[in-house]
Amino acid sequence: MRLPGLGGWSDDPLWSYVYPWLVEHDRVGRVAWRAATGSDLSLLHAAAAEIGTLPRGARVLDVPAGSGVALRGLRPGQGLDYVAADISPTMLARTRASAVRLGVADQVTTTCADVGALPFADASFDLVVTLTGLHCFPDPGRALAEMARVLAPGAVLTGSSLFTDAGPRYAPLRRVGTRAGVLGPMCTSAEAVAWLRRSGCRDVDLTLHGGAGYFRARKDDAR
């Protein structure tokens, strides 16, 4: 049974306002993030910060872009080709509004797409960022395979997610999210690592922190 009043992603749910607000408000966000997920918000910020290290002309895929939380890593005038993809047009409108507010709209294009069937060529991105998205997808294994497919050889995939092996303390959080319609089947951290390796990634690093996990992997040069 779905919890009333919250809604799935296409309904622009309440959580989609609370979450970006927390991420953007360091002090309150840090405390609330720790209380809700047992994790450190700076790890999420660090994943987004990788965007700011890329050279002019580099191509980034942010999926799911959601409210555009990862845009905090993109600098005005950096000269990136930043593709923000999400299955929800409502959320993409929020990404566009964030890009304007942050002064990076000239670098950002939005694409309505299912992460399970990305409309991009193989090896076409220099970085893929996937913040707090994997736990929402209907097929997380398929999503990781697609994200790895579009990575150029040597390029990095970085992201965060809730994982089902993160401990019983976070089971209520996962249950509420599932009943609210904003979480998918999710996966264990070991499954995510195995799927990334099977999809041609090496140097796979996944660290559980509280109820969340933060991962980083590099596409094999040989692929």
Ligand X SMILES: C[S@@+](CC[C@H](N)C(=O)[O-])C[C@H]1O[C@@H](n2cnc3c(N)ncnc32)[C@H](O)[C@@H]1O
Q: Name the residues that contact ligand X, by CB under 6 A.
A: 9, 19-20, 64, 66-67, 69-70, 86-88, 91, 114-116, 131-133, 136-138
Cα(41)–Cα(107) distance, integer angstroms: 26
Beta strands in 48-124 (DSSP E): 59-62, 81-86, 108-112
Shortest reach from residue 184's CB to ligand X, in Å:
7
Q: Tell me, what amino acid is at 57?
A: G
By beta carbon distance, the residue nearest ligand X is: 66
Q: Which is nearer to ligand X, 72 or 219 (CB)?
A: 72
Cα(27)–Cα(118) distance, integer angstroms: 36
Q: Tell me, what amino acid is at 217?
A: A
Q: Which is nearer to ligand X, 34 or 153 (CB)?
A: 34
Shortest reach from residue 67's CB to ligand X, in Å:
4
Identify whether the C-beta of residue 140 lies closer than 8 Å to the C-beta of residue 111: no
Q: Which is nearer to ligand X, 44 or 193 (CB)?
A: 44
Q: Among residues 137, 211, 210, 141, which one has the least CA distance to residue 174?
A: 211
Cα(45)–Cα(35) distance, integer angstroms: 17
Q: Among residues 105, 92, 38, which one has the least CA distance to residue 65?
A: 92
Q: Which is nearer to ligand X, 87 or 152 (CB)?
A: 87
Q: Which is nearer to ligand X, 43 or 202 (CB)?
A: 43
